[in-house]
Structure 1
C-alpha cells in the first residue's frame, strides 16, 4: 500500500484521483486546498489529514518522512494550471514521485526544468494522459497502424463544452492561469491525436479568442481541422437546449464514438503508474509543445480545405 498526498482537493477532477487512490488499494494520508469544500473526502479517505495552508501541509508532509511507514510515496497535483510547476517541484522535494493532471506545465522550457528537479531528487513525474487507456482510442490507433503507411486520414475534431458566467470569474477564465481555452480543454485531445497519428508536422491557428479557438494540425498519418469552444452559442441547433456539450470526431468520414468508457480511466492510469508503466515528461512533451505553439501563434486565414467549417459561423 502506497501513501499519497493530494494538492487541489476541492477541484473538479480531485474526486477521480481520490477514487483511483482508493481503488488501487492505496491510502490518501494528507490533502490540501485553499477551499474547504472537500466533503467528498468523507466517502473516500475519511482518515486523511486536511490543510487549507500550504505551509502547514508541507511541514506535515516533511514530518511524515521521519517514519518509512508514513512517508509519502506519491503526491498528486490537481491544482490550477499555473500552479502545477511549483506544486510538482514541491512534491519531488518531499521525496515523493508526483502524478499531475494536464496540462503538466505551459511550456517546453518548464518541462526541461522539471527534468532537472527529477535528477536532483531522484524522483519522477507522471502525467495523466487518460485517453491513451480508452478502448476506442486504442482500437483506432491499431487501425491506423494497420493501414498502408502512405495513408493520411482526414480528421475533423469539434468539441464544444458550454460554460456559464462563473467560468470567466474563475481561474479557468484567466489566460494567465489556465493558459487559454485551447490549452485548458484541448490538451488531452492533442495528446490523443499524437498518440494515434504520430508526430506533428504542421500547426496553424485560424482563430483564437477567450472562449474558442480553431486551427489545422497535420500529423504523420492525419490532416486535422479542429474547433474548440466553451460558448453555448456554438452548439449545433439540434443540440442547443438539450445538451451542454457536443463532441464529434470524424476520421475519413467515420465517427469515433468514445462517449462511454471514461469512468475508470484515472484508475487505469494509476494502475499503470504503480506498475512503473506511467507516462512521464517525455510522453507529455508533444502535447505541451503543441499547445504552446497554438497559444503563441498569430492566427492566419487558411485554405478552405484546412479551415474547420465552424470558423465561418463565428460572428454570425
Structure 2
C-alpha cells in the first residue's frame, strides 16, 4: 500500500481579490496542499488576508519568500505588469509559478519566459480555469474522437460591463500596465476555451474601438478567425454591455454545443443539440456525475497540485498560453493596421511582438497618461 503524497507547499504573491480565489481553492484541497507563505508589500492587506486564511509565514516582498521558503508552487496574483519579473524570480529560485492572466504583456515577454524556462527547467503555468470544467473536458474528447464530425462555425462572446470608476485603479486600462483592454483582461478566458476546443487558428481579421470608457486601451474588440481545420469563428470582447453574459457556440457536422454563463459554468449552462439523424450522440454528451463543480479556480489548481504531487506535467504550459496570447496580439495588429494577420506572422522586432498596441493606437490617450 503506497503512502499518500505529502502536501504540495504553496506560496501566494499578492493578496488582492483574486488571491482569495486561490487561497479558497488551496484550503478546499485539505491535506493535498498547504498554504505555507504569502508575500505582500501592503501590511494592512496582508493582515486582512491572514485573518481569513491560515498562513504560516508572511513576507513583505516576493524575493524574501522565494529565498527562505521551501515551496513546490507559487501563485502570482499581482497586477499584470509584475507577472514576468516575478515568474522569472520564481523560476530562478527553482519554484514553478502559476500566473494569473495575462501571463505577460507581450509576445516578446512570453518568449523571455520561455528562454528562462528552458534554462532552469522550471515551468510557468497560466490560470485559464475554464478549460477544466467537466463539460469542456468532455467536449474536447468528443472533438478529438471525431464523434461530432468536423467543426464548422463557432461564436465566442464576452459581453461584460465595467463602469468608468472601474478604471480608477491606476494599472487598469493602461497598455504599459495591463497590456490591453477586454481582449487581454476579460475575453481572454472565453477565447482561450474556444482555442482549446478548435485548435490552431490560421488567420484573423479584427476591429477594435474605444467607444465609451476612460481608458487608453480598447473597450470593445471583434474578430473573425479561420482555423486549420477549416472552421470559421467570430469573437467579441466588450466591457460596455449592460446585460452581462459569456457565450460560446460550436456548430459541428453532427451537433451544436452551446455554453452561456458569466464568470463560471456548470452542466446546466451547456446545451447539446444533435443534428437530425444523430440523436444517439446525446448519450455521449450526458453526464450523471452528481458533483457538478463550477469551472472556477478550484478545478485548475486541484489539477496542478495533483500533477506536481505525482511528478506529472501540469497545465496550462507556456506553449499553450502563448497560442492564446498570439491570438490577442493578432487581434490588435489586425484592428490597428486594417488588414488580416496570419498565425506565426508576429515575430522578432515586429512592433506587435513588443507590445499589444504596436505603437499604432488610433485614438489619443486619456488626458494625463501615455499610450505606452
Pairwise TM-score range, normalised by the shorter structure: 0.7 to 0.9
Q: Aligned in 2, Cα 1:109/1:60: closer, same or farther, shift over 3 Å? A: closer
Please, which of 5, 12, 17 is the counterpart of residue 11 of structure 2? 5
Deviations 1:203-228 (CA, angstroms, capped at 9, x unpaired): 11123332111111222343111111
Unaligned runs of 5+ in 1: 65-69, 240-244, 303-316
1:296-311 counterparts in 2 under 5 A?
Answer: 296-299=333-336, 300=338
Please, which of 218, 221, 225 is the counterpart of residue 234 of structure 2? 225
Query: Under a length normalisation based on structure 1, what TM-score does the superposition of the two structures give?
Result: 0.79
1:84 Cα offset (Å): 0.7
State the distance in 1 between where 2:65 and 2:195 align: 40
Q: Aligned in 2, Cα 1:47/1:298: closer, same or farther, shift over 3 Å? A: same
- Give the equivalent residue in structure 2 for 1:61: 66
- Give the equivalent residue in structure 2 for 1:314: none
- Give the equivalent residue in structure 1 for 2:19: 14
- Give the equivalent residue in structure 1 for 2:354: none
State the distance in 1 between where 2:177 and 2:195 align: 25
Question: Aligned residue pairs: how many?
Answer: 281
State the distance in 1 between where 2:207 and 2:238 align: 14
1:301 Cα offset (Å): 8.8
- Give the equivalent residue in structure 2 for 1:193: 194
State the distance in 2 between where 1:136 and 1:72 align: 32
- Would you say 1:255 and 2:258 are equivalent positions? yes
State the distance in 2 between where 1:76 and 1:82 align: 15
Unaligned runs of 5+ in 2: 1-6, 211-217, 267-293, 341-372
Which range is displaced more, 139-148 or 284-293?
139-148
State the distance in 2 between where 1:292 and 1:121 align: 27
Deviations 1:83-112 (CA, angstroms, capped at 9, x unpaired): 111110111122212111122113332222
Please, which of 261, 280, 292 is the counterpart of residue 329 of structure 2? 292
State the distance in 2 between where 1:162 and 1:216 align: 22
State the distance in 1 between where 2:65 and 2:45 align: 21
Q: Is the CA contact 1:76–1:99 (under 8 Å) kept in the aligned structure 2?
A: yes
